[in-house]
């Protein structure tokens, strides 16, 4: 072991391990990596060289950018799962930012956020070859029949507009507003988003309601055609009777 600065710091060798030790206790013990320069005594003084990396209990920074701060935590447990966030810090909401390099500094391109309500929010576009939602009967309860005609009438009355997201002014979409959808059907846990399972369910129910309406109209048309055929037959018989009487 090599003691440095009166034993406050050191470099040592253990079984299969080379370690570096910095000052502990209440002091802000840190590690730093410099390129070039000369020795300087003050903390984080590169002595005219370049600061490549800093590490302490608060954060890890590389080339001056914080890569991981005290409010963030990434751990891997023995079961093989990767965990983001620290359950011991109240109110800390972990998120992951994905940046797309354009040769200049910019904000995140896509962000994944744990909103603390059992939901993972994506700020940005999410694309996949297929998206399979849980729809197992065994995972559901309070199953009740739906009045398809009533759903159809609500769909007919639902305002549908063309619009674009503020973050994507060049991309047009067509659809209802979440507030109107929530007011009409009372589905989901938010009036600022529409769950695809609810949108699909409403669409299928409305199609069934429309089919019922078409079948009723078809039955009514068939009934009227039958009545018209019977009237034509009666008229033909009456005409025949009149002709027979005139000939006699």
Output the pTM of the full model: 0.64
DSSP string, 5-19: TTTTEEEEEETTEEE
Domain boundaries, the chain: 2-123, 137-247
How, if at all, do strands 110-114 and 2-4 pair?
unpaired
pLDDT digits over 76-96, tens only?
A: 666 677 777 766 777 777 788
Q: 61 near 44, Cβ under 8 Å?
A: no
Mean pLDDT of all residues in 128-157? 95
Spatial distance between the Cα atoms of 29 and 35, rounded to a whole number of angstroms? 20
Residue 67 has pLDDT above 70, yes or no: no
pLDDT digits over 89-121, tens only?
A: 777 777 887 877 776 666 667 888 887 777 788
Kind plus residue range of the DSSP H or E element containing 234: helix 196-247
Among 173, 151, 171, 170, smallest CA distance to 161 is for 173
Spatial distance between the Cα atoms of 168 and 196, rounded to a whole number of angstroms? 21
Q: For position 105, what pLDDT does the model report?
A: 64
Spatial distance between the Cα atoms of 134 and 197, rounded to a whole number of angstroms? 9
Average model confidence (pLDDT) across the chain: 88
Mean pLDDT of all residues in 136-142? 96
Tell me the C-alpha to C-alpha distance, in Å, between residue 38 and each of 29, 55, 58, 191: 21, 20, 26, 61
Secondary structure of the chain: what % helix, strand, coil (to 5)?
Answer: 30, 25, 45
Residue 133 has pLDDT above 80, yes or no: yes
Q: 152 near 209, Cβ under 8 Å?
A: yes
Q: What is the CATH number of domain 137-247?
A: 1.10.10
């Amino acid at each position: 072991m090599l003691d440095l600065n009166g034993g406050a710091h050191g470099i040592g060798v253990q079984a299969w391990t080379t370690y570096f030790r910095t000052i502990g206790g209440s002091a802000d013990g840190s590690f730093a990596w410099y390129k070039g320069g000369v020795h300087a005594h003050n903390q984080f003084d590169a002595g005219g060289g370049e600061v490549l990396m800093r590490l302490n209990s608060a954060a890890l920074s590389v080339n001056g950018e914080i890569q991981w701060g005290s409010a963030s935590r990434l751990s891997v447990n023995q079961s093989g799962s990767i965990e983001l966030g620290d359950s011991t810090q109240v109110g800390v909401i972990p998120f992951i930012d994905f940046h797309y390099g354009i040769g200049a500094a910019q904000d995140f391109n896509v962000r994944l956020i744990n909103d603390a309500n059992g939901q993972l929010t994506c700020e940005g576009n999410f694309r996949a070859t297929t998206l399979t939602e849980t729809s197992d009967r065994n995972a559901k309860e309070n199953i009740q029949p739906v009045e398809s005609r009533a759903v159809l009438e609500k769909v007919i009355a639902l305002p549908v507009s063309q619009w674009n997201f503020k973050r994507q002014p060049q991309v047009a979409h067509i659809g209802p507003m979440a507030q109107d959808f929530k007011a009409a059907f009372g589905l989901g846990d938010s009036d600022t988003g529409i769950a695809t399972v609810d949108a699909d369910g409403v669409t299928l129910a409305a199609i069934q309601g429309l089919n019922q309406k078409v079948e009723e109209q078809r039955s009514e048309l068939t009934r009227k055609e039958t009545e018209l055929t019977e009237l034509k037959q009666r008229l033909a018989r009456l005409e025949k009777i009149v002709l027979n009487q005139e000939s006699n």
